[in-house]
Amino acid sequence: MFALFKKELWTYFGNWSAWLIIGAFSLIGTLFLFFFENDSNIFDIGSATLQSYFVLVPWLLMFIIPAIAMKTLAEEQQSGTLQWLFSQPIKISEIVIGKFLAVWLVGILCLLPSLVYLYTVYVLGIPEGNIDLGATLGSYFGLVLLIAAFSAVGILASSLSQNQIMAYLLGVFLSFFLYFGIEQLASYKLLGGADYIISNIGFYQHFLAFTRGLIDSRDVLYFIVVIGICLFLAKVFVEKKK
């Protein structure tokens, strides 16, 4: 599994694709936070906080993570190397988990440049250091789990598709629906008390709790269960291709 994990990382970083993704992610975040006039601009808000960043990032991730994950299994099948993997002394579950870990790590690395934003906001605070570190650290922890969830969804989409374009589109659709779509369905309040249950099926409410600085074991368990289900389903669909 770790050999496959290292191979996947080399695939991403060896041909500059990961560097380009991290660079684009950082550039977009910088433009929205410091240059574009919008509700996320720190200077327009007039408050030393990164909360606008944590609102923006999930929307970027739901397009970027599927782009990282789309080639993991779909490309293997398209090029015929998936059958070669089946002939190796490695379990299908290890193939899925190894690829998932590589996508997750690249996604986490996208967040590293944001530490510059954290330092900038820390310095700009009046007095210096006037920032809610509890909410900030909780938000970062929530983003790590959200990236893992989007990565698992992307792996599932790639296992369902026979080419990378379909894997990307399906990954974006599933990520959008799980993060925003379910929350919007619940907001119509058509089912009375059941709307609360529907809302908690999606990613949004569970991630929102982290942005408030609350690390609840139930929210952590939710993401672990979602990741486990997606990876299990991906394993099942890959086995059918054996």
**Which H, E and C letters describe the chain, residue by residue?**
CHHHHHHHHHHHHHCCHHHHHHHHHHHHHHHHHHHCCCCCCHHHHCCCCCHHHHHHHHHHHHHHHHHHHCHHHHHHHHHCHHHHHHCCCCCHHHHHHHHHHHHHHHHHHCCCCHHHHHHHHHHHCCCCCCCCHHHHHHHHHHHHHHHHHHHHHHHHHHHHCCCHHHHHHHHHHHHHHHHHHHHHHHHCCCCCCHHHHHHCCCHHHHHHHHHCCCCCHHHHHHHHHHHHHHHHHHHHHHHHCC
Banded model confidence at residue 152, pLDDT cuts 50, 70, 90: very high
Whole-number pLDDT of residue 197: 77
Whole-number pLDDT of residue 46: 67
The answer to whether 227 touches 152, Cβ cutoff 8 Å, is: yes
146 or 215, greater pLDDT: 146
Whole-number pLDDT of residue 1: 73
User: What is the arithmetic mean of pLDDT over 43-62?
Assistant: 84
Q: Is the pTM of this model over 0.85?
A: yes
The answer to whether 142 touches 211, Cβ cutoff 8 Å, is: yes
CB atoms within 10 A of CB 24: 14
State the chain's mean pLDDT as an integer. Answer: 88
Distances from the Cα of 69 to the Cα of 2, 103, 188, angstroms: 17, 6, 32
Rounded-to-10 torsion of CA 96, 97, 101, 104: 60
User: What is the arithmetic mean of pLDDT over 221-236?
Assistant: 97
User: What is the arithmetic mean of pLDDT over 151-156?
Assistant: 97
Share of the chain above pLDDT 70, in %: 95
Whole-number pLDDT of residue 214: 84
Banded model confidence at residue 37, pLDDT cuts 50, 70, 90: confident
Pick the range with the lowest mean pLDDT from 105-114, 125-134, 152-161.
Answer: 125-134
Pick the range with the lowest mean pLDDT from 22-31, 73-82, 192-201.
Answer: 192-201
Residue 184 has pLDDT above 80, yes or no: yes
Q: Is 198 exposed, middle or buried (0-12, 13-18, 19+ CB in 10 A)?
A: middle
Residue 237 has pLDDT above 90, yes or no: yes
Share of the chain above pLDDT 90, in %: 50
Rounded-to-10 torsion of CA 73, 78, 79, 85: 40
Whole-number pLDDT of residue 129: 67
Residue 196 has pLDDT above 80, yes or no: no
The domain locations on the chain are 2-240
Residue 79 has pLDDT above 70, yes or no: yes
Pick the range with the lowest mean pLDDT from 63-67, 134-138, 157-161.
Answer: 134-138
Whole-number pLDDT of residue 191: 64
Q: How many residues does the chain have?
A: 242
Whole-number pLDDT of residue 131: 78
Banded model confidence at residue 4, pLDDT cuts 50, 70, 90: confident
